[in-house]
Amino acid sequence: MPLSDETRALMARINRKYGAGSVVLASRMPAVPRFTSGSLSLDVMLGGGWPGNQWNEILGAESSGKTTVVHKTIAANQQQDRDFTTFWVAAEGYDHEWAAKLGVDVDRVIVFETNAMEDAYTEMIRAAESRAVDAIVLDSYPALVADDESEKDMDQATMASGARVTGKFFRKVGQATRRSLVEQERPLLALIVNQFRDQIGGWAPAGATPKTSPGGKAKNYAYYTRVEVSRTEWIDEKRTGGSVRVGQVIKLKTLKSKSAAPQQVASLRFYFANSSAGFLAGEYDLASQLVTQGILLGLISLDGSWYKYREYQWHGDKKMTAAMREDVDLQEQLSADVLDAIRLGED
């Protein structure tokens, strides 16, 4: 339906006052850009990947795999774009050797080591304004120290000082993160790592520990996506004389998502050591993820103990998964079919 003269006049007045493109029809706005996580299951859970030009939180307990998920995300996007550059605020230090093992090209990662909260936030805002980087990562929030806390003695209370500064950061960073409403600009991936803390005086169901995330409640409204990371089990392999721990299963759940269904779950098999099954340290078991998604979406059919996909068929799930691991072209074909099926389902 055509716009009325009054509506056109309203839009023209706002664009004259604030600049061309300040107000547009929603139908003409560019689609939300997406960044792959390096995992098909996680991309599906997120609705197509991490949303760009928005701030996303990855939180969980210690050693659950939070930083690993971020590294794998950066590595996957570097593979897709040879110019992909990351500004990494390392509040807890940066292990470039481990990052490289996870597939990250550390020559395209700019590391700023600081635990001064105001300094970290200031440089993150400037990096977003500059359009000079493709990703901004803060690892991690609990290691940051606000000036108000740093300047006081150990016996002086500084409750909520970090939360106040964090709230100010999100109020100021919005303009720096925002991109054009009419043109495709260089999109930005923004990730902040956080860690759960026990909540004193809180309530939780019987047997559970009440938990909260540092930084105050205001930040939760600013995040576009919040993903909880946890470790569900270890991956052990039998070797001569005993067993060896070679990996872990990382479970991810969306606590909040403005661009996809919330409370979605994905499980990733991650290997931090070389496996006798052929996985190298730093790899996901991508073949298992593909098979799971293919079965869920009906792309892989089951006839007795036979699994069928297109012109291929295998007797037993182990043979199917093994074939998927060995054939890169087959992986790419099934991955494309999975994403197409998801898009058709959404349409």
pTM: predicted TM-score of the whole model, two decimal places: 0.89
pLDDT tens-digit series, residues 103-125: 999 999 999 999 999 999 999 99
* Residue 149, pLDDT score: 75
H helix runs in the chain, sequence order: 5-18, 40-45, 66-80, 96-101, 117-130, 147-150, 161-177, 218-222, 286-296, 317-326, 328-346
DSSP symbol at 194: E
**CA–CA gap between residue 259 and residue 46 (Å, rounded):** 8
pLDDT in tens, the chain (347 residues): 689 999 999 999 999 999 988 999 998 888 889 999 999 899 989 988 999 999 999 999 888 999 999 999 999 999 999 999 999 999 988 999 999 999 999 999 999 999 999 999 999 999 999 999 999 999 999 999 998 777 666 655 566 788 899 999 999 999 899 888 888 889 999 999 999 877 766 666 666 677 778 888 888 999 999 999 999 999 999 988 889 999 999 999 999 999 888 889 999 999 999 998 888 999 999 888 888 888 888 899 988 889 999 989 999 888 888 888 888 888 888 988 887 887 776 54
**CA–CA gap between residue 30 and residue 322 (Å, rounded):** 40
* Residue 50, pLDDT score: 96
Q: Three-state SS for 315?
A: strand
Nearby residues of 344 by Cβ (< 8 Å), 6 or more positions away? none
DSSP symbol at 113: E
pLDDT tens-digit series, residues 295-344: 888 899 988 889 999 989 999 888 888 888 888 888 888 988 887 887 77
